[in-house]
Every structure is written in C-alpha cells, then in structure tokens.
Structure 1
Amino acid sequence: MFFKSASPSRTTTPSSSPPRHTFSESLTEENIMIAHTVISKWDLHSQHSSSHACNIDSLFSANNRMEANQFLKSVNDLQAAMHYYVSHNATSEKFAQAQTLMQIAMKRLQKEFYRMLKANRECLDSESVSTHSSTTISSRASRASLSDMEEDSEDEFIRSTTDDSVSEMERSSIFAMAELKAIADCMIASGYAKECVKIYKLIRKSIVDEAIYNLGVEKLSFSVIQKMDWEALEIKIKNWVHAVKPAVKTLFYGERILCDNVFSTSDSIRESCFSEICKEGAMTLFGFPENVAKCKKTPEKMFRTLDLYEAISDLWPEIESIFGFESTTDVRSQAVNSLIRLGDAVRTMLTDFESAIQKDTSKTAIPGGGVHPLTRYVMNYMTFLADYSGSLADIIADWPLPLQSSLPETYFGSPNKDEDISSPVSMRIAWLILVLLCKLDGRAELYKDVALSYLFLANNLQYIVSKIRTSNLRFLLGDDWAAKHDTKARQYAANYERFGWSKVFASLPENPAAAEIPIEQVRNGFRRFNLSFVDAYNKQSSWVVPDPKLRDEIKVSLARKLVPLYREFYELNRNSVLRSEPGSENLVRFAPDDLENYLSDLFYGASGGSVSGSGSSHSTSSHSSRSSHYGGRSR
C-alpha cells in the first residue's frame, strides 16, 4: 500500500505544490514588513497612524533621532527589496507594496528636507557656516551622517562636538548639515534627486538673493549708471566696495560649503545647485565694476576706480576657488572682464591726469612766491596714488612710458642702481612729478623779481619733497631721490638769497678792518646799507616760506652772513660818524641786533612789516610788536 499510494498516479504535480521561498526572498519580505511598520507611522496621509503627533512632529528632531535612523535604514532596505524583485519577480504584490511604501517615505523626506532648511535657516546662515573651515565641517558632518550612524558612534560624535572648541552655533550647523546630507543621500539613492534638489534650490536661492539685496548690491544697467551724477555713483561704489568682501568670503563661500556637504555624494548635483543658487547674484555683483569702468573717465574718479579694482584683485583667489565649476565660468569671466576694464580706465585717467598738468593755463603768480595750487593738487593726488601701488603695479606693468617721455638720467641720478626707481610704478610717478616740475619752471617766469622766482621754486620743490617723505611715495621713489631734490630746493633757496640780498651785501665793504676808510665813504656806506636793507626788507615782507624748516634755514643763513659783516662795519665806524657831524644819528639807523630781529619776521607774508623807523630803539620796539603778531600765526 505504501508504494501504491506513492505511485505516479497519486504524485502531486509542480503546478499544485505550494510556492517555495528562498532565504533571500524571505529576508526581503521581512524587511518590507519592518519598513511598513516604521514608514506607515510617518505617513502624511494615513488615517490610521499610531500617533497623531507623529504627523505634526518632525521625524528629524533630537527626540526622534534613533527613529530617524530606523526610517532611513528602512528606506535603504526597501530600495534593496525593490532591486531584488525587479530582478526576480517584477509582478509580485510585495514589489507593488514596496513601491507604495517608497512613495510614502519620499513624501515624508521631502517634507522633512523642506522643514529643516526653513527651521535651521539661522544656523545654516552663510556667515555661520563660512566662519569654520570646510574641511572641519565636512569631516564632522560626515561623522554625524544619520544614515550610517550607530548608537555608539553617535554618542561619540555628540561628545566630540560638546567641547569648548565648538560653539553652539557650529554644533547646530554641523547637526543640521548632517541631517540634510542624510536625507539628500537617501533621496538621491532612491531616485528622487530631482525632488530633493528642487526644494533645496528654491529655499537657498531666495536666501542668497535676500542677502545680496541686504548688502546693498543692485542690478544696475550701464545706461542707468551712465546717467548718474558722480556724487550718486560714488555712493554706489562705496556701498559695493563695502559689500563685495562679505559677499564673496561669507555668502558665496558659505553656500559653497553647504552645497559641497549636503550633496557630497554627487558632484553634478552640488555643482548645479551652487550654480543656480549663486550665479545670478555673483554676475550682478561683478558686473557693476565693469559698467562703472565704461563710463566717462575723469581724474577725480581715479581712486574709486582703483578701489573697485583692488577689491576684485584681492578677492580673486577666493573667486577662482569658490566659482571653480565649469557652470560658473561666466562668473570668473565677469570678474576678469571687470578687472580688465577697470585697468584700462585707470590707464586712461593717468594719461588724462598728465595731460591736465601739461595743459594747466593758470597765469596768475602766487602772492609771496608760495606753494602753487597745482603743486598741492598734483602732490595730494600722487600721495593717494601711492597708497594703491600694488594695484598700479598690476595695471601698468606692461604699459611703459612712451619713448618721448623717457626720463633723463640726471633726474634720477643712477636709476640702474636703484631697483625701486626703475619699477614701472616708480617710473610713472617720477615722470608725473617731472611734468609738474617743468610746469613750475614756467610759472616761476611770471615773477618779475628773480629772487622771488627762486623762492617760489624752493617753496614748491620743498613741498614736493615733504609730501614724498611723509607718504608712501618714499617707498616708490626712495630716500636718495628725496635727498637729491631736497638739495636742489636748498640750491633754489641759495639763489634766492644771492639775488634777493645782493645789493645789501654789496653796500658793505668786504673787509671793513683792512684799511682806514675816509669818513665820507663811511657815511655813504651807512646810507647805501640803509637804503638797500629797507628796500629788500619792505619788498620781501610779503613773501612767504610755508615750510618751517626751510624758513628757519633761510633766515639763519642770511643772519650768519649779513649780521657779522654789518656788525664789524658798525662797531668800527659808528662812533666816528656820530662825532663827525651833529644829527648823524639818522645815518646809523640799525644796530646789529635789529637786523636779526627784522630778519626773524620775514617769510610769513605779513603786509604791515615795513621798515619806517629812524633809530635802533624804534626798530626794537617795532620788532617786539611784530614778534607778538607773528607768534600767533600758524606756521
């Protein structure tokens, strides 16, 4: 009976036998069941969820961190299950169930991703992110990745971010980025990259655009900028210069760090996200300087133009690094184009500045031979230029002086021995000063008095040397250049002294004690001296020497040469003149000390310092009055 019953006629056919499950299929079905338990709890549209609070609370919160790990693990298990069924049984009901669960999970993750970007806006602010190195944040965020974190490693990470070296804001930033990265990794791996990226771009671009606006960066066309008056445009430039550094080093750098970390698993996604979020704002930012550079060039715009150039030039390494993607080539190109345009504008303005010096048509002699307004304007302009020597070095490196403008070797001394003076910037500055000096030579011819012409040249060259020594120009032209021209200023002063006081010196004998002088010659000597000294003093009482050091040097030099010579003549002959004829006191009008007193009052430009007294006592009291007057003068 046993074998009968086991006969072929009674054997069960394969079509009627129960399905046999493999180990892999059983494990897959079990994973789907577990995933269903975890994911359905957080189903946004479920009417039968175990807790209504779960539909309101965030899955990715401090209280639900372990459950978030389970959720992400369930999604990964679902993904593996779906791959299994695609390969083995695509028509299985389990496969359809897994697909449904995946859709539920992705909707929840989309909501969580959106909520986290919104809720963590402050700790994901570019300023917060950019204050820490991208390497540090990246390593810590990777360690904080929720999709890979076991309970022990999570505790270890939390301990590592609670030391004193990590601020609360940094800790929040790291956790937020880790959670965003975990969601992004999960959604990208599950085929929902498009939905994840769409949310990210929408929120972060609005934040970047708002930040650009708050920095005061406006999208202004060339036509709008061209119509602005300079005062209004200058304000825009100042705002831009103030904004560009935080925009690059904080805003764009922070966004780059955030993109690189959240989408670290996909180079193409992080590039497209960063490009779409930041490209428009960056193009607006770096397009403004180019439009400014295309406007009408005038020397007064030089320094604001250099401010723009310097700002981009200083930030170029960061610009090149942050916008290093192929898709952000236009940003780098825009920054380079702005630099090129600004450099062209600076060269044009330098040419116009030189031309303005050469074409100066002022024909009025400066009263008293003081510093010419052109000298003040040019040298103040040059001192400001020297502050931009680094940028100027880039701009005029390949822009040598024309051949007809080659500087004479005598102007520099030995330029080949001085590396500084042979640099393009130094040569350009020196050439502009030479143009000014040549112009001043022409202005000196306006004075009818040769002595005043030399005093004018001495004053102006001394002003130039002083400006050089008290500004960054000294680093461009060097101490030797300044010393050489300082010596030349003293030579001009010596020429003034020679021409301005020649008649006074000629009125006195070269060696009064060499031989006895007839009394009539002595009387005539005092008359000639009185007339020449009064004439020189009255004429020069309105002349000026603004530089205190040069003023004192000239007066000391005059006193050392004139007073001893006059004192010897005075002491040898005064008594003989007074004895020779009653009333001869008027011939000896000045005592030697009176000369020093009168000389000390020169070069302040006073109009009331003429010699009118007839005796030494009057001269002394007159000096006291003038000393009181000049003592209050600003020197």
Structure 2
Amino acid sequence: MPTKGMRSISFKTSSPSSSSSPSPSPSISIPPSSSHHHSFSNSLVMEENIEIAQFLIHKWDSDASNSLCSITSLFSFDNRQEAKQYLNAVNYLQSAMQHFIKEDTKSEKLVQAHNLMQIAMKRLEKEFYQILSSNRDHLDPESVSNRSSTARSSVSDFDEECSIDEFRVAGDSITETERVSMIAMADLKAIADCMIFSGYGKECVKIYKVMRKSIVDEALYYLGVERLRFSQVQKMDWEVLELKIKKWLNAVKVAVRTLFYGERILCDHVFSTSETIKGSCFAEISKEGAMYLFGFAENVAKCKKTPEKMFRTLDLYESISDLWPEIESIFSFESTSTVRSQAVTSVVKLGEAVRTMLVDFESAIQKDASKTPVPGGGVHPLTRYVMNYISVLADYGGILTDIVADWPLKIQSPLPAESYLGSPYPEDEPSSVISIRLAWLILVLLCKLDGKVKLYKDVALSYLFLANNLQYVVNKVRNSNIKFLVGDDWVTKHESKVKQYVSNYERMGWSKVIMSLPENPSASMLPEKAKDFFKRFNAAFEEACQKQSSWVVQDQKLRDEIKISVAKRIIPTYQEFYETHRVGFIRIMGSDPVVRYAPDDLGNHLSDILYGSGASGSVSSSNSSSTQSRSRRGS
C-alpha cells in the first residue's frame, strides 16, 4: 500500500460523507445497464477502503508493539483530525463487511475486515473509557447542567467539520471548563455513534453505565442521601430524623436540578442516535439513587404522626411538589417510570400524613386537661402553642390548600360558618378550605379557653384572662399570614370581643370602687358622711389595687388602654368629690388621715397595677407579643 500523509487519506464513495452520516453507501458512478460490472467495481472500492482502514487501525492498535500509541490518546489535542479519519475508517469498514456478507460469506476480505473491526472496537473502548475517566471533573453533572444552549451550539460536535482552532474560537465566549466539557462530550458521542453503528453498542454502554453510575452514587453520598429502610427511619428519635430531613431538603434540589438533570443531558447527547439506549443507560445510572432519594420522603410520611412533625412533613411535600415538573421531564423514559411513581407516592403519603396531623392537632386542643390557672390571668401556654403553630401553618397556605382542597371541613356544631370566619363559607373556592380550617382551629382554642375561665374564682380576673388570651390571638393573626386567610372582618370582629371582655373586667373589677363614691360628688353633705365616703373609697381602692397588682396584662398597648379607661371611670368623680368636701372636712374634723389620696395619687397607684407580681414581674412590650414561632426552614 502506498504511503500517504494521514491528512490526505480519503475513502472511495459516491459522494463526500462525514462521520455524521454513519451509514455510508460506498459506490462509484457506473452505467446502469451492467449490474455485474457494478458489483465488481463496488468490491474494488470496498477492498481499497479496507486497506486504508487497516493502516489506521494497525497504527493505533492497543496491543501493537508501538509504545507511543499505547500511551497516547487518539482523541488528544494533537490527533483530532486523525481521530476523525479513524472513525470514518471504521464506518466504511462496517459498510465493506456488509457488502462482502452479501457477496461471499467466506470471503477472505470479510474475515480481514472482521478482524480489523475487533481491533478497532477494542481501541475505541479504551478511548471511550479514557475520556470518561480523565474528564471526570469536566463531565460532572454541575458542569454539564450549567451549559447554556448558546454555549452548546457554539462548539460543533466532533462529527461535524471542526478543527481545533475552531474550538479555540468558540471557546472565547465560554469558560475553559465548559470548553473541555463540550469537547469531551462531542468525542464521546462520536465514539458511541461509531460503536453502535458497528454493532458494538453493548460494550460502549457497559463502560458508560459503570463509570457514570459511580459518579451519581458518589455525588448522592456526599449530598447526604442515605439508603435507609423504613424500619430504620421508624426507629429514629425525632431529633435525629429531623436532622436527616434537613439534609434531605438541601440535597433533593441539588440532586434533581443538577445531578440527575446533568446526567440526563450527558446521556441524551452521547447516545442521541438511540432512544432505547438513552433510556436504558439513564435508568441504570440514576434509577437506584433516585428511588432511595424519593423513597425517604415516603418513609417519613409512614412514621408515627405527631403535631411536632407537621412542618417538616410540609417541607418534604413542598420540595417534591416544586420539583415535580423537573422530575417528570428528567425521568420521562418508560424505564424510569418507577421513579416518577415513587415521587407521586411520596407526595400522596405526605399529604395524607398532614391531614392526619391536622385532625390530631385539633383533637389535642380539645383534650387539653390542664387544671392550673395561669397566674394573674395571663396568656395561657395552650394559647401560645396553638397560635404559634397555626401562624406557621399559615406560612404554608399554598401547600395546605393543595392538600386539603378536596377535604372540606365537616363541622359538627350548630354554629354557622359566619361565627368564626366572618363571612359565609365559599365552598366553591379551594383556598377557602384552608381558611375555614384555620379559623375553625382558632375557634376550638377559644372555646377551650372559655372552659378554663371556671378556674378563676374572681369574675373580673376571669374576664381579664379572656381579654389577654383573645388579644394574643388577635395580635398573632394580625401580624402573620393568618390574616390573609381569615380576612380583615375576622380581625375586626374579635377586636370588638376583646373590648367587650375589657369592659366586663372594668365593670366587675372596679364597680366597688366606683360605688364607694356618691352619685353626686358635688352635693353638700355632713362632714361625717363625707368621712364615710372617703373611708369606703380608700378601702375599696386599696383592695382593688392590691389585688390587681398581681394581675397581668401582657400586651402593653392593651394595658395602657385599660389603665386610661379605669382612670377615666374613677379619677374625675373622685377629684370632684375631693375638691368639694376636702376643705370643709379638714376645717371641721381637723387633720384626719382618712383623706389619703389626692387625685394625682390615684393615677400613680393605677400605673403600678396589671404588671403581675412575684415570679411574673413587670411585663415588657416585647414579651407582650407572641414568642416567635420557629422558622419554617431553619429551625
């Protein structure tokens, strides 16, 4: 065979062809009247192509004594043009084999071509493995998934006419990592196309599956995705399981949007010529890890349901729901349908768990059996717990709407919906289902608090207890997303109830003081009678202040409003009585300690009440608002 420069090697075909057309049909122009001459001419062309292919294949034979070829990559920076010719040689070699199979199955040329093909496939297997291995960092899913469509189109695939200089030009607009990644992907695709066309697709696919699956499994491991069985999850303490859920919540987004997405892009690109191979490869690489990933959420959902697990369960539900469009797209093959099914099953089970926990939460409120009255009529721990819980639930309003949309509340009560929602129950609006349910939970709490009023022997204190707790509820609603669900009418209505409770407290708590003064404080009366009024007022006022110094109003604004209101009820009447009778009383009776308070003194004494005493101490405005509910994501 004549020696030729590698760049001048060409194969005999009827028209120019590149490796982008892996099924060339070698032929030469012949008169259509002579079929025998046509066949003979084709055989000559095929024989010449075999000889040319033999030169390239033997040159890069992995088992040859040529040590340079054994350590040098055919697809290295300096050999790209020769690699292109090598792939063309293999493609034409395959065409030659098909020709001689039709002509003579015992042909020596067929045997020669078959032997050459085995040598070539062994070399390409090695090159395929080497590219996957040496470009492990450049072909990581993050690098692949971050490639924009513009960058992908800026560099031609290997099978198109493209020199290394063109790669450099294209690379001016992309990062070095992206450039190397795209070149490696183009090389892998070219090799895969050639091997599949030559009938050696299984060997190529086997290498790809082993290499890429190890990368996926390793990435999931470093993301913290554990292969846990339900029995293992079930036995975990909640604190331990919650930490694992937090890790999972961070891992699932990266796994879907980067890891599996990047692997799907790479797999689609390398095996673009075969949908079957693409599906098989991607399933083998990703299916096992994905099943463990989404199966974890189902295992959590199947564990014992308690109210404390509600928010992490909602986080799991929300994560998979948000990622569902990507999951459905990435795992769209029939071979990965079980992954889609697992994701759906997990969402369904999580939704069922949330429903169960909502029912259990309501039941827990109703069953609260605490018998100890809150000192000073302050905010009950149940009120804090329930409202903090509901305020966080409201943050998940959109997700909860999906979960309870087809689960309307069945109210076993004669109370109409307007009594706690503030407007009729709009059954045809899905979002109203969660609104009505949260409003109902608040009503259950308020009814429970009404029952706890019996723990207080002082009627005034019982009203103060109701005012404190309802004010806490209103504040929590007003300052959280609950307001957007239950509406302004609900807030206005319950604010008026707070005022009603306060009015009852003032009437019951200060009526004795008010009644200790005459109806007409400026009316003339004997000094002895005036003295009796002063004495009765002193006793009543001191008793009320002493008693209410241990009572508490934790909302500063409400506390100030109550003091101002009480002062308006007492001080003007006392001041009129004081100014009318004090001078005459002292002139006749002399200096008598019975007149203990000037009008200004009353205000000073009133300023000291409703802060609580003993362990309660003075309640600041910061404490009057609710304790902060735990963060949705960080707690």
CA contact (8 A) 1:275 1:328 kept: yes
Distance 1:262 1:634, change over 3 A: closer
1:602 is aligned to 2:620: no
Of 78, 88, 105, the match for 1:63:
78
Deviations 1:218-239 (A, max 9, x none): 1111112222222222222222
Answer whether contact 2:550 2:610 (CA < 8 A) is retained: yes
- 2:451 is matched with which residue: 442, 451, 462? 442
Which residues in structure 2 correspond to 1:316-465 (within 5 Å)? Answer: 316-405=324-413, 407-415=416-424, 423-465=432-474
Aligned length: 587
Structure 1: distance between partners of 2:482 and 2:132? 53
Question: For 1:454-501, what per-residue CA distance to the aligned partner results, in whole angstroms no more than 9, with x for missing partners?
Answer: 100000001111111222212212222122212211211111111100
- What does the per-residue CA deviation read over 1:339-388, in whole Å, with 9 as the maximum and x for residues that have no partner? 11111111111111111110111111111000001101111111111121
**Aligned-pair CA distance for 1:400:** 1.1
> What displacement does 1:608 show?
12
Judging changes above 3 Å, is the alpha-carbon distance between structure 1 residues 461 and 419 closer, same or farther for their aligned structure 2 residues? farther
In the alignment, is residue 590 of structure 1 matched against residue 597 of structure 2?
yes
TM-score, with length taken from structure 1: 0.88
Q: Does 1:162 align with 2:180?
A: no
Between 468-477 and 566-575, the greater mean CA deviation after superposition:
468-477
Cα distance, 1:215–1:63 mapped onto 2, change above 3 Å: same
Q: Judging changes above 3 Å, is the alpha-carbon distance between structure 1 residues 418 and 483 closer, same or farther for their aligned structure 2 residues?
A: farther
Structure 2 counterpart of 1:132: 147
Q: Is structure 2 residue 120 aligned with structure 1 residue 105? A: yes
Offset of residue 413 of structure 1: 2.7
- CA change 1:441–1:419 in 2 (3 A) is farther
Match in the other structure for 2:183: 175
Which of 202, 217, 221 aligns to 2:210? It is 202
Contact 1:357-1:435 at 8 Å conserved across structures: yes
SS across alignment from 2:487: helix
| Structure 1 ranges of 4+ moved more than 3 A | 19-23, 135-140, 154-158, 405-408, 415-422, 629-635
Note if 1:479 corresponds to 2:491: no
Aligned-pair CA distance for 1:607:
5.1
Deviates more, 1:94-103 or 1:416-425: 416-425
C-alpha contact (below 8 Å) 1:375/1:464 kept by paired residues: yes
CA distance change for structure 1 residues 607 and 569 in 2, over 3 Å: closer, same or farther?
farther
More deviation, 571-580/398-407: 398-407
State the shift of 1:632 in Å: 12
1:309 matched to which residue of 2?
317
Structure-2 change in CA distance of 1:132 and 1:439 (3 Å): same
Q: Matched residue of 1:423: which SS?
A: helix
CA deviations over 1:126-149 (Å, ceiling 9, x no partner): 11111234x456545xx5322332
- Determine helix, strand or coil for the equivalent of 1:445: helix
- Pair 1:112–1:394, CA change in 2 (3 A): same
- How many percent identity over aligned positions? 62
Query: Secondary structure of the equivalent of 2:571?
Result: helix
Give 1:10's aligned residue.
Answer: none
Q: Which amino acid aligns with 1:410?
A: S
Residue of 556, 567, 577 corresponding to 2:575: 567
1:47-103 superposed Cα distances (whole Å, 9 cap, x missing partner): 3x4xx3122111111111111111111111212222222233433322222222111
Return the alpha-carbon distance in structure 1 between the equivalents of residues 380 and 504 of structure 2: 19
Q: Which residue of 2 aligns with 1:555?
A: 563
Cα distance in 2 for partners of 1:251, 1:423 equals: 38
1:44 is matched with 62
- Give the corresponding residue for 1:528: 536
SS in 2 for 1:543: coil
User: Which residue among 43, 58, 63 is the counterpart of 1:25?
Assistant: 43
Q: Is the Cα contact below 8 Å between 2:138 and 2:177 reproduced in 1? A: yes
Give how far 1:410 is off.
2.5
Counterpart selection for 2:235 from 227, 231, 234:
227
1:420·1:476 contact (CA, 8 Å) conserved in 2? no
Counterpart position of 1:87? 102
